[in-house]
Amino acid sequence: MDSSLKVASTIAEIRALVQSCRAEGKQVGVVPTMGALHEGHLSLMRAARTRCDVLVSTIFVNPTQFAPGEDFEKYPRPLDHDLDLCRSEGVDLVFTPTPDIMYPAGHQTHVEVEGISQPWEGAHRPSHFRGVTTVVLKLLNIVLADVAFFGQKDYQQQLLIRQMCRDLDVPTRIETCETIREEDGLALSSRNAYLSAEERTQAVKLSTALQWGLEEIAGGVQDLSQIRQEMSQRLTAETEFVLDYITIVDAWSLEELESPRDHMVAIAAATLGSTRLIDNMLIPPFSLQTLNDR
């Protein structure tokens, strides 16, 4: 275990630490998180560790991406355990700001990506992406990393972040890494901790419904609206899932598709009890490599 982890909670501190690494010509990678770290987060750290000289992680439960009534207050914050995990993954620097540091009194500027922020998660969580893009741009400006690592798990989010960086000439390169899943296929999420034992057994249907859709397409089925209907039946049959959407979209525009094309993603969001879960799967031949090489 590397005990040289440095923790900074102010912008000046983290900037000075990163700056001294950059001055030595080192490549800096950053993994932004909201903490409650799991294997999904750790896989991003491992990807960053192999590609960069200096690994920075940020842990910040960003209030502006939660709507009133969502789980901001109850979101888990096991900071000491998270720092232990960062240490064992070889993270060099962790930035743990408070909301006051990120949004001091008088903060007035927000970043909004138009177009692709509107459907799906944008439609179901109207203020969410404005909070995400604002905090990510702030974190990228604070850390000034060469590469930032995000999970495919939040497909629409990473697409928006890429768009924002392109539109606003942010020099940090964005790398998207594969979704890490439980053995039965459930995508890891800090929110899985909210599921009761019964809900946990039902939760797997989110990934199995998407996987079924992928297999239908691989088998040559052309009618995507039929696949959409059946995926939604498979998800909701004999479960308490309340569906937001389960569908197949263009990987770049997120437009819902009626017939197959080369770049497609199957996306889903649904609520089980009080827990909202999202998942997605890239539909071959579309791959993370295509996304990252774009």
- Binding interface with ligand AMP (CB under 6 A): 33-34, 40-41, 43-44, 150-151, 153-154, 177, 179-180, 187-190
Would you say 216 or 279 has its CB closer to ligand AMP?
Answer: 279
Q: Is 187 left (phi over 0), alpha (psi -120 to 50) or beta?
A: beta
Q: Minimum distance between the CB of residue 64 and ligand AMP, rounded to whole angstroms? A: 13
The 3-state DSSP class for residue 155 equals helix
Tokens (6 digits) for 284: 């071959």
Would you say 261 or 294 has its CB closer to ligand AMP?
Answer: 294
Q: Minimum distance between the CB of residue 145 and ligand AMP, rounded to whole angstroms? A: 14
Q: Minimum distance between the CB of residue 32 and ligand AMP, rounded to whole angstroms? A: 6
Would you say 149 or 216 has its CB closer to ligand AMP?
Answer: 149
Task: Output the CA torsion sign for 182, 188, 194, 195.
Answer: negative
Q: Which of 38, 41, 110, 263 is catalytic?
A: 41
Would you say 5 or 135 has its CB closer to ligand AMP?
Answer: 135
Nearest CA among 202, 120, 126, 183 for reference residue 154:
120
Note if 107 is an active site residue: no
Would you say 187 or 235 has its CB closer to ligand AMP?
Answer: 187
Q: Minimum distance between the CB of residue 149 and ligand AMP, rounded to whole angstroms? A: 7
* Torsion angles phi and psi, residue 209, rounded to 5: -65, -45
How many of the other CB atoms lie within 10 Å of CB of 223?
A: 12
Q: Between vectors from CA 136 to CA 131 and to CA 141, what angle results, nearest 5°?
A: 130
DSSP structure string for 105-153: TT--------GGGSSTHHHHSTTHHHHHHHHHHHHHHHH--SEEEEEGG
The amino acid sitting at 52 is C
Q: Minimum distance between the CB of residue 224 and ligand AMP, rounded to whole angstroms? A: 25
Residues identified as active-site: 41
